[in-house]
Amino acid sequence: QVQLVESGGGLVQAGGSLRLSCAASGRTFSMYAMAWFRQAPGKEREFVAHITWTGGATYYTDSVKGRFTISGDNAKNTVYLQMNSLKPEDTAVYYCAASRFWRQVLNMERSYDYWGQGTQVTVSS
């Protein structure tokens, strides 16, 4: 089992920045990739970014490219999401997710085995 705990959410003005953290504990040596998803009020949860645990390959959804950066610290079993130039449409609950095994597709919810409880990000205009 892997436990994921997110932190770093909050209220920020448009154009501001936040850094989310996701600390993993448990059988972290078996993880293949980690990702961030988000869910805005009244909308389905959507993919934001992922990173492979070995190699550090990253991928972003188009709406955050150039503004968000996902990174990982293997020694701390922690993945980060640096969010810059935030927009009101980035307002959502942000979830961290982890995949135990290799997956051909990493931008879908079904590719992930473990989920955090979520952290709220609110961007005011």
Q: What confidence tens digit (pLDDT) does each residue in 16-40 have?
A: 999 999 999 987 777 899 999 999 9
Quote the radius of gyration of the chain (alpha carbons, Å): 13
Residue segments in the chain with a per-residue pLDDT below the cut of 50: none
pLDDT at 60: 97
Which structure tokens are listed for 26? 């448990």
pLDDT at 54: 84
Greatest extent of the chain over all pairs of C-alpha atoms, in Å: 41
Which structure tokens are listed for 109? 């919810």
